[in-house]
Amino acid sequence: MSLAKKINLRKGEDIIYVTKIFWLTYFWLYFFGFIFLGLASFFMFWLFSKGVWGYIIFGLGILTGLYVIFRTWYFKNKNISVITSERVVDISCEGWFDEYISVVHFNNISDIYVRKQGVWSSIFNYGSVVVETIDSQSSLKLSSISNPQNILDILIENKNLFADSKTLRGQNNIYKTFLNVIPNLDEAQLCEIHDLVEGQLKHIDKESEIEEGEIKEEIAEKF
């Protein structure tokens, strides 16, 4: 299943950024798996000399090492966080058949901050980004991600863009509604609208003249 289908990407919504858990978080699990493979290989000939039980122990050692490595790789790639143009989605896979998908929309975010714990987090620049919501019921914690400050900046930037686009969409909706209402207005209402529009246009023209005059003064001062 593609990522767009997994998070149910809406029409007009774009994926901005995808982040995974920092590699150091899984390093010791990889190391543990390779230890099994190394020990099984090191004692291979000695185990083979012990007959059937030696072959069984060798096989179990190899299988255990491969299982630990594969499982670590699999869950590392399954546990991701996605920032879209409208929301932040956290996909947490805690078992082979145990997956959580948590979503917080930008219009429900009250606060975003970074938290680093321990010496290793400071040295390797990884930590958590906490997204708190207005209702305090669906807060997210994007844990153990690389360069959390960068993720914080991306979240804030896209949250502001979403707010601006929402305001613009609201204004466009009001404008379209206004155009649809005009044919139903009486003469007095239309005259009132005409006066308001005329006054606004004069105000805009006056501001333009002031700006033009300021520009001319700046040019005159330079030359």
Q: Hey, where are the domains in the chain? A: 1-21+85-184, 23-78
Report pLDDT for 148: 87
Is the pLDDT score of 182 beyond 70? Answer: yes
Residue 137 pLDDT > 70: no
Per-residue pLDDT at 135: 75
The helix-helix angle for 23-42 and 52-78 (nearest 10°) equals 170
Q: Which two tokens stand for residue 27?
A: 């390093």
Q: Which of 57-71, 108-122, 134-148, 182-196 is modeled with the greatest confidence?
A: 57-71
Give the pLDDT score at 62.
92
Quote the CA–CA distance of 35 and 183 in Å, as a whole number: 80
Whole-angstrom CA distances from 152 to 31, 141, 161, 162 are 31, 12, 14, 15
Question: Which of the two residues, 38 and 195, has the higher pLDDT score?
Answer: 38
- The type of residue at 145 is I
Report the distance separating Cα 139 and Cα 149, nearest Å: 18
Q: Let me know if 188 is exposed, middle or buried by CB neighbors in 10 A (0-12, 13-18, 19+).
A: exposed
**Please, which pLDDT band fits residue 168 given cuts at 50, 70 and 90?**
low
Does residue 149 surpass a pLDDT of 60?
A: yes
**Which residue's entry shows tokens 């979403």?**
162
Count Cβ neighbours within 10 Å for each residue of 158-181 and write b for 16 or more, e otherwise. bbeebeeeeeeeeeeeeeeeeeee
pTM: predicted TM-score of the whole model, two decimal places = 0.66
CATH number at 1-21+85-184:
2.30.29
The pLDDT of residue 202 is: 74
